[in-house]
Amino acid sequence: MSDPRPFRTVGTSPRKVDALGMAAGAAAYVDDVAISGMLHAKFLWSPHAHARITRIDASRARALPGVVCVLTHHDVPRILHTTAGQGYPEPSPYDTLMLDSKVRYVGDRVAAVAAETRAIAEEALGLIDVEYEVLPPVLDMERAMDPGAPVIHDEPDARAVIPVPYEPQRNLAGHVDMQIGDPEKAFAAAPVQVDVTCHTHYGQHTPIEPHVTICWLDADNRLIIRTSTQVPFHVRRIVAQSCDIPVRRIRVIKPRIGGGFGVKQEVLEDLVAMLALKTGRPVKHEYTRAEEFVSSRTRHPSRVRVRLGLEADGKPVAIDLDVLTNTGAYGSHALTVACNCGSKTLPLYPCPNVGFRADSVYTNLPVGGAYRGYGATQAAFPMEVAMDIAAERLGVDPVELRRKIHIREGQGSDVFRALGEGKAGVVQKIGSCKLDECLDRGAVAIGWSEKRGRDRHSPKLVKLGVGMCALMQGSSIPEIDMGAASLKMNDDGSFNLLVGATDLGTGSDTVLAQIAAEALGVSLDHVIVYSSDTDLTPFDVGAYASSTTYLSGEAVRKAAVIVRGQVLQVAAEILGLPPGDVDQLRTEAGEVIAPDARRVTFAQVALRSLYDADQHQIASFASHISHASPPPFAAHFAEVEVDTETGFCRVVKYVAAVDCGTAINPKLAEGQTEGAVLNGISYALTEELLFDQAGRCRNPSFGHYKIFSTRDLPEMVTIHVPSYEPTGPYGAKSVSEISINGPLPAIANAIYDAIGVRLFQPPFTPERILAALKGVAPPSQPPSLKNGSR
Amino acid sequence: MKLTATINGVRRTLEVAPRALLIDALRDAGYTSVKRGCETGDCGACTVLVDGVPLASCVVFAGQVEGRVLTTVEGLGTPDRPHPLMEAMVDAGAVQCGFCTPGMILSAKALLDENPDPTAADVKDALDGHLCRCTGYVKQIEAVLDAAARLRTRAAAGGGAR
């Protein structure tokens, strides 16, 4: 595509198309509609980390007035599937049943009730009689593959559906490895060697709207699923699979949803759907906050070892990444998060010898899932701490080390080819990279050269420090993800834009409308967006893998280019121009303009095409897959204040300089960066799910799982450095995920700058910082099991 | 039992269960801007104004507001006639998923009713406890300061603040 700059709509920040209604409290979300005769569902959750259900008797619950349906594993089809909302065939193993005779974590599903009121449904849960044979649990991921460890998935038919390693008999849910060159030989000869092991902990996405689903049967006995999902088309496919009904019988509608961050990439709608199918009544299920914390999905905890071998001038000669992730009780996203630990970090620093191995293991703890960052969060932390250590050993500034060794425009990486998601990757060269400018502008904004090292050797009790990191992510899963769009023209020259892409609050409906408006030459209010309805909109894999703007946006651009051609054809007829002169027409502000300055409005074109001559619907469909996943790049800088007496660490200022290509809507792009940064800071400092020695979550509430609020906010600086990604719509690449990966390493490196002590185990709580200052071993992974309540 | 209260300027009598929470009474009566995020009073999404004071309606029994004056976002404005706080939130890019927005607008309204010219620190204090996972709060704080300026301009022009 030729460079179409300057832009008209792209690069501006008009109002988000759905924002005013939401601000005014419009009934826009799943739970804002009432359907007459609606039942309320509640689920019974396992009290045991690992147990077999030896007897389950729901007769007392069924006898309770107002209870309409109770489902146990005796009442539902036994169909193994994955809840991971991924493309087909999924890279996550088929290890999950709608309801099973075995439970694998505290919070696993045991039974479901649908009743006339929520209170009756809750009461009925207590009337379900369950006898368990309690089994020894696996609560430490480091011990999950020990010989003789309890086998969590001993069902004989659990399986991988793509050709990847899967060994449930030793609790191995996913494995990936690759090697380029000879890393061990190169390490042995490298003059500078760094060896760092970091852990990351259980975190939860905490969308402010928990998962909520309403299912009903329409007049034609079709199952309608109105749900808070990021992946409506995967919901349709996977619910059809697990309920054993045809895809064509299901319609999934995603209205406005209250945030997702990956947790709504999980297909948890099956049991609500089954209740609706069994009762013939509308059924609503809404997770409580405690259920959202424990029984939806989490970030895979990890242990990642990074070894760097560098030349004396800083050039990497060997990089090795050894990864262990904990997928919890089910293997949702187990393999692919592990893959991304390598694929979203290693290409940043080109190196001739690269080793990468990752295991993802089952434990009897809550289930890992997709979470913004998706492996990059887990691996960028040790990688960037290792780079900080390397810079110190080399005696160079950490900013200068990154500047010297990062990947550049025109460069490829063998890692792109070797490492995909559950299969080999795709060869690609970097088409856009403004990381140098991110480093420059970020360093100025934080005051890097003035502030670096200022308090390290001072006698002050409260010390300031600055730290930084460099980051990359991707934009869509190349040659796997597909997005599609359609456009049709209305009487007044407006257009319906129908997209399968899923706006989970990100503003993608607005961004996609801007892309359509740009390509058509109309104002934004002439593009009416409707998204994510499996009956009405074309397919899209959904909102994940930083794909929507880049991938679905290009589908929209293509559809708009086709429709624009149709508009020009009709305009040429109106103007009496020969068809060959169409190329000389241009569009602007809803008008077609001829070289002689005569004008035809889009409304005239629409009226002619619909009512007057050679009537036809001006409309188009377009699909897009990408052969590349161009990385956005970023340089993050943190300034922290550490109290050496209390161990309390506060982020004073945070600078995120991001190259996301063209920001289609700069204000919304800033919002993505700010939101990701603050989520990352809060994960680095306070957020952590804690478990007791029976595997029970100890803090499933906002009162005890601290996410940042306004008073906790540091000074935030967001810098978007424009670049032009040649493969993206109007030069765009992704922005949503990358910035959640920065706070862990940037803050850890800043703490080191302040107090000379390195932390490898977040969150960086006062206890851990004090332990590190005193030189005693900080609480190790999983710290929660060491100080459990029993 | 019956609950009689003034809701968004209209005196209404609602039929509610004796132990109904205010959030459920309001949502069942159609005030769907009152969002359920935690049911423990921690997230702020269900905030309503009771006699002008922000309150988490998920930890209040409906019966406790008998005879009081309640305000939800529906009472501040509509998409056709938006309140300046709504417009400022939209213009700042502060509305991502929007789930926390109505509650934040109400707490901001309570702040601006008391203090028409707040500092950023005042705004942070007023919005603290309204959890938002999308935005990082930067744009909400900007929006409230902007709305305050809009309301002051309107008051100076004789329009009067709502």
pLDDT tens for residues A303-317? Answer: 999 999 999 999 999
Q: CA triplet A774, A777, A780: central angle to 5 degrees? A: 140
Decide if A701 and B134 are in contact by the 8 Å CB cutoff.
no
Percent of chain A with pLDDT over 90: 96
Q: Is B29 on the interface with A (CB under 8 A)?
A: no
Nearest residue to A109 (alpha-carbon basis) of A283, A368, A367? A367
Give the predicted TM-score (pTM) of the model.
0.97
A190-239, pLDDT tens digit by residue? 999 999 999 999 999 999 999 999 999 999 999 999 999 999 999 999 99
Torsion-angle region of A63 (φ positive above 0: left; ψ -120 to 50: alpha; else: beta):
alpha
User: Is B85 within 8 Å of B107 (Cβ atoms)?
Assistant: no
Of B37, B82, B141, nearest to A208 by CB-CB distance is: B37
List, in order of start, the domains of chain A with CATH numbers: 19-27+482-625 (3.30.365.10), 34-135+205-295 (3.90.1170.50), 302-477+628-786 (3.30.365.10)
Full set of structural domains in chain B with CATH: 2-75 (3.10.20.30), 84-156 (1.10.150.120)
With CB atoms and an 8 Å threshold, state whether B133 touches A679.
yes
Q: Shortest CB distance from B43 goes to which of A670, A702, A710? A: A702
**Which residues, in sequence order, are bridge partners of residue A636?**
A469, A656
Position A788 pLDDT exceeds 90:
no
Q: Which of B92, B106, B107 is nearest to B137 (CA)?
A: B92
Instruction: Decide if pLDDT at A790 tops 90.
Output: no
Q: A716 and B136: CB-CB below 8 Å?
A: yes
Kindly state whether B124 is in contact with chain A, defined as any CB-CB distance less than 8 angstroms: yes
Cα–Cα distance for residue pair A381/A783, rounded to 1 Å: 19
Question: Under an 8 A CB cutoff, do A24 and B82 touch?
Answer: yes
Check if A740 contacts B (Cβ < 8 Å). Answer: no
Query: How do residues A327-384 score in pLDDT, each as one tens digit?
Result: 999 999 999 999 999 999 999 999 999 999 999 999 999 999 999 999 999 999 999 9
A residues 203-222 near B, CB within 8 Å? Answer: 205-210
State the pairing for strand pair A250-253/A223-227: parallel
| DSSP secondary structure string for all residues of A127-194 | T-EEEEEE------GGGTTSTTPPPS---TT-B-SSSS--BGGGTEEEEEEEEES-HHHHHHH-SEEE
Q: What is the pLDDT of residues B11-35, one digit of tens each?
A: 999 999 999 999 999 999 999 999 9
**Can you tell me the mean pLDDT for A26-41?**
95
ipTM above 0.90, yes or no: yes
Residue pairs between chains A and B whose CB atoms are closer than 8 Å: 183
Question: Alpha helix (H) ranges present in A217-375?
Answer: 232-243, 270-279, 289-295, 334-343
Determine the pLDDT at residue A777: 67
Helices (H), A500-593: 508-520, 553-575
Q: Do B79 and A674 touch (CB under 8 A)?
A: no
Rama region for A333: left / alpha / beta (φ>0; ψ in -120 to 50; rest): left
**Residue A649 and residue A674 in contact, taking contact as beta carbons nearer than 8 Å:** no
In whole angstroms, what is the distance from residue B146 CA to residue B153 CA?
A: 11
Residue B9 has a CB neighbour count (10 Å cut-off) of 9
* A380: nearest Cα among A176, A688, A718, A636: A636
Chain A: residue nearest B45 by CA? A208
Residue A424's pLDDT is 85
Name the nearest CA neighbour of B117 among B156, B152, B83, B84. B152
> Which tokens go with B113?
């009713």
Q: Which chain A residues contact residue B75 at CB under 8 A? A: none
User: Among B31, B93, B99, whose Cβ lies nearest the Cβ of A668?
Assistant: B93
Which amino acid is it at B3? L
List pLDDT tens digits, range A518-565: 999 999 999 999 999 999 999 999 999 999 999 999 999 999 999 999
- What per-residue confidence (pLDDT) applies to A783? 43
